[in-house]
Structures are given as C-alpha cells and as structure tokens.
Amino acid sequence: QHCRLGAMSSIGNSRLTDVINVDVPSITKSVVGHVQTSLARAPYNLDDLGAYQAAALSVRDNLIVNWNSTQLNYSRKAPKRAYYLSLEFLMGRTLSNALLNLNVFDGYSESLNQLGFSLEDVIVQERDAALGNGGLGRLAACYLDSSATQELPVWGYGLRYKYGIFQQLIKADDGTQLEAPDPWLEHQNPWELPRLDVVYEVRFYGSSQRWSDGSGRAVWSGGQEVLAVAYDVMIPGYGTKNTNNLRLWESKPKRGFDLQSFNAGDYERAVETSNTAAAITSVLYPNDHNPPGKELRLKQQYFWTAASLADMMRRFKHMEKPIGEFAEYNAIQLNDTHPTLAIVELLRILLDEDEVPWDQAWTIVTNTFFFTNHTVLPEALEVKVFLEFENGNGLIDLDASLEMVGPPHGASTSEAYATAVEKKFPGDRERLARMSLIEEGFPQQVRMANLAVIGSRKVNGVAELHSQLVQSILFPDFVEFYGKSKFSNVTNGITPRRWLDQCNPGLSQLITDTLELPRAVWLKDLFKLEGLLAHADDERFQRRWAAVKRQNKERLAHFVEKMMGVKVDADAMFDVQIKRLHEYKRQTLNILGVIHRYLLLKSMTPEERKKVNKKVVFFGGKAAPGYYVAKLTIRLIVNVSRVINKDPDTMAYLSLFFLPDYSVSLAEVLIPASDISQHISTAGTEASGTSNMKFCLNGGLLVGTVDGANIEIAEEVGEDNVFFFGHLTPDVDDLRYQHTYHPVPVEKKSPALAHVLNTVSSGLFGDEGVYEPLLNTIRQGDYYIITEDFDSYIRALEMVDEAYADRTEWIKKSIRTTAKMGKFSSDRAIQDYAQEYWNVESVKIQD
Ligand code: OAK
C-alpha cells in the first residue's frame, strides 16, 4: 500500500528548466519534487491522496505556463473579449480533464505506475468542484471548455463559495434526504491561483449625493465596504496551449476589525463586521429554479457583478481606448437574471466615474450585454426588494443607478424607458404595468428579467422550443416593442471532451479506430461522428460497440456494489434518470411507472416472468432543502427500492436504486452505462436539458416528452430512434384548466395509475399516510399532468422493451444515435455566441 516511490532513484537527468512535463522522466521528477517540497512529505509514506496532490501540482505547473502566455498574448493583441457571468460553475474534477486536454494522460499514467500508483485510483481522490446546482451551472463549465478549446478570449466570472452544493445523505431508517455541508476547500485546491494583488472595494448601503452642476452625476459614500479578492482558475483548451481564466471572487472584510468599536470595548460588534463581509461568499444557495428571497443573495449578486465590472473596466482602461469604445472591446453574457445588476453597475460607472452623458452611457450598456434565459417557470423569475433594508437605505444605491440619472437627462432609466413605451403604445396602461421594471406593491420590487431584457442587445433561450416560449410566454410585450430580431435561439451543447472521451474511454477508442481519424480531430469537429453511420451494419463493429456498453455497465455495477453493498445484474437493461428533483421533471411519473411494472410482475406466473425484459432502474438527484414534495419523492423512491429489491418473486427482473449525492463525477460513471434514459418533463417546462445530449452521445437511447432539446435530438437522430410519449406543449394549458375546473377521478382517466396510487396509499411501501401530500399533487389539480400522460408513458416503456428484444437492431439504433450528435457539441454553441452575439474572434497563442 505504501512505500511506493522506489522508482525515485531512477529519475532521469532532465534539465531543471523543463517546465512542461511531457515525457515520463520529467513527469516523475516533477511529481516527486512536489511530494518533497510542496507537500513536505516523505516519499516512502505516501497514500493515494498525497499522490493526487503531487500529480495535480505537477500538472498545474504545465497549466500555469500556458495560462501565462495566453494572458500575455491577450494583453498584447488586445482583441475584443467576452465575459461569461454566472453565479454557478459546476466544474467537477479537474485532474483527468487537464491531463486529456494537455495530452499527457498516458505519460502521467505511466509515471504514476512506475511510482507504484494507479492513475485511476489517484484521479478519484479529487473532490468535485460543485459550485452549482444543475443544468445552468454545468452548462457554464462546458462553455468554458469550448471557449478555451476554440482559442476564444473568453473569461468566466463567478463566486468562490466556501461551501458548494450540499452533500446529500439518505437517512437509514426512513429514506429521507439530509443535507451536510460541502467543505470542498478543506484540502487545498491546486487548480486555483490566489491573486491577493487583485482586490476591489465593493460598497453596500450608504447614500448618494447628486452633483449640483445639473449633470445628474452622483457620489456614493458611506455604508459598508467589502473587499473582493480574485482567485483564478485555469481553464485549459483541448489540444491547444490556449488556457483561459475563470475568475472567482472571495469576500473579505475591509478591515479585520472595526477599531473604533474595538477600542470602545464592543468586541462583538467589531468582529461582526468581519463576519458579515466573509459571509457573502460563504455558501452557494441550493435552490434550483427558485430564487431565494434573501438579502444575502442580493448581496452576493451585487458583490460579484461590481467586482467583475471593476476588473473589466481596469483591463479596458489599460488599453487606452476612448470610453465610448467600451462595447467594441467587451461583450458580457448574462447567465440568466442572476447577474442583471451588472447592467446598472456599468451604467453607474459610466455616468458617475467616467462622466459619460446618459444617452451615450445607455447605448454602451445595451451594446455590451447579452441575456440568456434558462427557464419559463414563473416561480423562477427573480424579483428583488432594494429599498427596505435594515438602515432604511437601499442595498446598492438604486437612486444612483436605476433612478439616478435624474431630471437633467430626462428622468431615470425607469422613467426614460416608461416614456418610450408610452410613446409607442399610448394609453395602454396595462401594458405599461406589465413592462415596468417595478412590480408595484408593498414593498416595491424590481423585475430582474425586464431589466435584463431592456439592458441587453440580444435575448436568447436555450433550445428552439424554449426560445419560442421565451418570446410568446415570457416577453411578448418586449417582442412587440423591440421587434423580433432582438430575440433568438442558441441551442445548448455539451463538451465531448468530458462527456465522451474522458468518461467513456472505451467508446472514444472504438470511434477513433473506426473513423480512422485522430481523436483530436473528431473531438474538435463532432460532426465527424457521422462517419460511424457507414459502419452501423458491420457485425464486428456492432459487437465491439456492445462490448464497450457492457464494460461500462460492469463498471457502474461495481461502483454501486462498492457504494451500497448490493449486487447489480449487468445483463439487465439499465434505465437512468439523473437530474435535480423537481415536480416539472416528473421523477414521480418514473417511480409510479416502476411500481406499475412491479405490480405487473407480481401478477405474472414464474413462466410468464421469464419472458420479461430484465431491468435495473437508477435515480440520482438532489432536492432543494426546503422543497417538501421533492423530498417526499426521494423518500418514496428509496422505500419502493427497499421493498422490490428483496422480493424473491421479482428481484431478478426488476431492481431499483436511488444513488445518493449525485454529482458530475457520478454522472460520468452513470451516463456511459445507460441503455435508456428518461427526460420526461411536462411538455413546455424543460428549457433544454443537457444530460439528454450526454446520454445520446454515449449511445444511450431516450424516453422522453416532446420538450426542450429532446425535440432537436429526435430531429437529428430520427424519430424512430427516440421513444416519445405524452401530450404536446399547446395542449398542456387546456388540460390543466380541465383538471382544475372539471376534475375527473384518476380511475376514469387511467385505471392503471389509480391502482398504483392506491397501492402507495395502502402502505405497501411502509410509511402509511406519509405520501398523501405527494399523491394529492396528482389527485388534485395535477399541474404537471401526470394522469394525462401516464398511459402513454407506460406504452412508450413497453416499446422500449420490445425494441430491446431485438438486440442487433438496438445496437444499430445506439450507433446511429451517437453518430448524429454533432450538433450538440458545446463548440457549436460557443461558435454561435461568438459569431452571432459577441463578435469575438480566436487568438492563436504563440510561444
Ligand atoms: C436555474 C436557476 C434559475 C433558472 C434556471 C435554472 C436552470 O438550471 N435551468 C436549466 O438550464 C439548463 C441549461 O440551459 C437547461 O438545460 C435546463 O432545461 C434548465 O432547466
């Protein structure tokens, strides 16, 4: 186990000046050097964690060299840059990704072997960087990978949370979810560079004084100042030296102590200031699609946008260009409404600090920003209270931003905008109220989405259908006001580096062999996968394809056995649903379908059962800590699994697992192993979905509703390779109306579903009565139309069973699916943004 560095004495004579560790001797030398000097550990007593840390530090040396020359090149060439502002970056692990992108995976593997370690065991020592909740955060991570790979000068800006998304525990006695903190920085993080020299002061509260010169400019003073300290995370591109930057801000008190209070003997008050400052970046809010109405969240948003803008401004000033050209050199993408305050902050800087006249400042602002919406769910729309905080002052000086620009320039942003709307639609007061930045009431609130729309040059959704709904449901008034051209679509994408090459090396190798192309070629031009179509009928290729899937299923089975102590049958079909728990995503529909299948199996004779397709169902996902119904769904899944996994009549044919603490790293094991995956949101509710793309890229087929990116996936791979079911988006509203105003008992609509619901109510899965609130969401109102879709869902699953029975045909479907996934590379999505939105071009890094 220990004493693994015997090979040390054989370290080659590589020159000390070799910073880039490519060949095995120099890798070994650098790793061993880090063991001794960075970790201060003895080489003869090193465990896997130590080996991970040393290997990571060695890889990081390589990254730093590339990162430095990239940043130097950017500074010298002064291209237009784009900034991706996201409160969430769900990065996962970095070591294996960096090794692949730098093309040194084999070298490190060999070197670690010589040192007595296995790279596989070392890689899993790393904790996920889980600074995100779900789709929106993971998308940001894929986009950074693609931007770096395409050598685009794009930086990410986010927050360095001390605690990422909570760890999910499942209580042994009753199967409920518990949350524990995620202290991911406990071991030092080798992938970040603290930049204690890059610091900005961010002001909160206080008051503003307008200048008396009639310019409308204001000076903002008083209140509390907090320091924003930069931590840079290196983002290596694939097969290029280009290494971009993700800058994460940490909050710090401006003074450790308030000396005045300290001297006055008020110790508690003195440290309190420092506590509140540090609290700003202490934790990622675990809400997905539900904005927390907390003052601290608003503080996070202002802290982050103010620091990021100050940083961009400093970089721009360095270029010595006229301020009027700001938008020619900077594009800012807003990842949902969370960074919307950047709009008013840029306006504030231009007006108050750079003395730009209002009209010109507003033009600069609206040429700089681009806004992406990620959901049409009404509960996700952010509204913020600004003016009602403790000391009677606004959190940020709304007066010096939103309303600041006062009479000399024709009233405030809000008023100027209202005037323009009024002019276009005279007398239409209802429309004016709908389009207003302010939601009237007590207290007044700011509608962040409206502000994001008026402050941006372009507004987009994340799949064709969703972008249509953004226009027709969320912003119809704005489409009329600005015209259609301001609104468009950029369908999401995923990085094939992490989501194929890294998580499924077997398949990657098979594709490389079959296409007879270097993997560096097809991984950068995913449309090349179409070349697989020519081999779909080749039996030898089909066998190899099936063998890869089989290996991945065994890997998952092994993983589950290790984690949960249960054997999993890799001969069975693997059916996977992994995503945040949410009523609109309908994990409930899935678990009710599982119960239906179980009851059916129970009703069969042993002979009949033998003809049934064996299936293992996997669930994974976290519920927001305060989301009662979602947590109840988890509890039901866990308790159903406890019953059916030990039923001797059925356990050979159906088993069920809820895998706790779903993460990016767990997804990397699950996705390559799936035969079928479920994307079964109520039509019109899932903006895009991105795991659907990941499953298909890895040759898994979809069961899904006609929703989000499922639609475009089916367009690419062919409808005969997707198992669609359920009502379509235009029907959903009517069905909801029916259920609300003309309710019909469940047994009338779906006797099968009624039977399942009654079985749950009967207490078969324990906890009699506990699930009633969950069941009642279906029996009453049924907002997500589970009753309406249940029978067609079951039929779709039967068709899956039938199709799977013809294994050769199934493998062909699987091959054809992977072959047609080119469109869903995040490289394509980033190109769309770079060309159609930001107007940024790639910068080749020279040594
Ligand atoms: C999270 C918080 C607020 C608003 C939206 C989200 C979010 O994660 N939305 C998800 O974004 C993904 C990336 O665009 C989409 O694929 C998902 O469909 C969408 O739910």
The mean-pLDDT minimum among 399-403, 460-464, 651-655, 672-676 falls in 399-403
Angle ∠(454,455,457) on CA atoms, nearest 5: 90
Q: Is 540 a catalytic residue?
A: no
Beta bridge partners of 618: 576, 657
Angle ∠(26,29,35) on CA atoms, nearest 5: 145
Distance CA 332, CA 82 (A): 6
Q: For residues 100 and 359, which has the higher predicted lDDT (pLDDT)?
A: 100
Distance CA 845, CA 734 (A): 56
Q: Compute the distance from residue 375 Cα to the ligand 1 centre, in Å.
A: 6
pLDDT band at 399 (very low <50, low <70, confident <90, very high): very low
Q: Compute the distance from residue 824 Cα to the ligand 1 centre, in Å.
A: 16
Q: Which of 217, 519, 579, 597 is catalytic?
A: 579
The pair phi, psi for residue 344, each rounded to 5°, is: -75, -25
* Per-residue pLDDT tens over the stretch 355-390: 999 889 999 999 999 999 999 999 999 998 765 444
Long-range contacts, stretch 707-711, CB < 8 angstroms, 24+ apart: 707/465, 707/679, 707/681, 707/682, 707/683, 708/463, 708/465, 708/466, 708/679, 708/681, 709/462, 709/463, 709/491, 709/492, 709/824, 710/679, 710/686, 711/463, 711/464, 711/465
User: What pLDDT score does 262 carry?
Assistant: 63
Distance CA 706, CA 726 (A): 7
Average pLDDT over residues 81-85: 98
Ligand 1: which atom is nearest the Cα of residue 134?
A: 8
Pocket test for ligand 1, best of 89, 289, 679 (most atoms within 8 A of CB): 289
* Per-residue pLDDT tens over the stretch 251-301: 999 977 666 666 677 777 777 777 789 999 999 999 999 999 888 898 999
Distance CA 573, CA 550 (A): 10
Among 628, 589, 622, 581, CA closest to 783:
589
Average pLDDT over residues 415-434: 88
Q: Is 544 a catalytic residue?
A: no
Q: Is 528 a catalytic residue?
A: no
Q: Kindly list the protein residues whose Cβ atom lies closer than 6 A to any atom of ligand 1.
A: 134-136, 139, 288-289, 336, 374-375, 380, 462, 492, 686-690, 708
pLDDT band at 3 (very low <50, low <70, confident <90, very high): very low
DSSP string across 593-655: HHHHHHHHHHTS-HHHHHTSPPEEEEEE----TT-HHHHHHHHHHHHHHHHHTT-TTTTTTEE
Q: Mapping DSSP to helix (H, G, I), strand (E, B) and coil, where does residue 59 land?
A: helix
Q: Is 458 a catalytic residue?
A: no
- Residues sharing a CB contact under 8 Å with residue 72, sequence separation 6 or more, in sequence order: none
Q: Which of 217, 241, 247, 374 is catalytic?
A: 374
* Per-residue pLDDT tens over the stretch 575-603: 999 999 999 999 999 999 999 999 999 99
Q: Please state, for a pLDDT cut of 90, what percent of the chain lies above it.
A: 82
Among 425, 312, 432, CA closest to 365:
312
User: What pLDDT score does 295 carry?
Assistant: 82
Average pLDDT over residues 722-731: 98
Among 382, 403, 306, CA closest to 349:
306
Q: Is 80 a catalytic residue?
A: no
Q: Which of 694, 739, 813, 820 is catalytic?
A: 694
Q: CA–CA distance from 604 to each of 528, 750, 756 (Å)?
A: 47, 21, 17
pLDDT at 572 over 90: yes
Distance CA 420, CA 842 (A): 38
pLDDT at 444 over 80: no
Ligand 1: which atom is nearest the Cα of residue 466?
A: 18
Average pLDDT over residues 709-736: 97
pLDDT at 406 over 50: no
pTM: 0.95
Average pLDDT over residues 138-153: 98
Pocket test for ligand 1, best of 284, 686, 688 (most atoms within 8 A of CB): 688
User: What pLDDT score does 257 carry?
Assistant: 66
Q: Is 254 a catalytic residue?
A: no
Q: Compute the distance from residue 248 Cα to the ligand 1 centre, in Å.
A: 21
Q: Which of 138, 553, 582, 585 is catalytic?
A: 585
> ipTM for the complex?
1.00
Query: What's the mean per-residue pLDDT of the chain?
Result: 91
Q: Which of 81, 580, 596, 727 is catalytic?
A: 580
Q: Give the orientation angle of helix 105-114 with respect to helix 24-33, to 10 degrees.
A: 60
> DSSP secondary-structure letter at 237?
P
Average pLDDT over residues 597-612: 98
pLDDT at 2 over 70: no
Pocket test for ligand 1, best of 85, 136, 464, 499 (most atoms within 8 A of CB): 136
Among 763, 746, 745, 764, CA closest to 754:
746
443: preceding bond cis by omega (within 30 degrees): yes
User: What pLDDT score does 408 carry?
Assistant: 27
Average pLDDT over residues 501-523: 98
Beta bridge partners of 458: 370
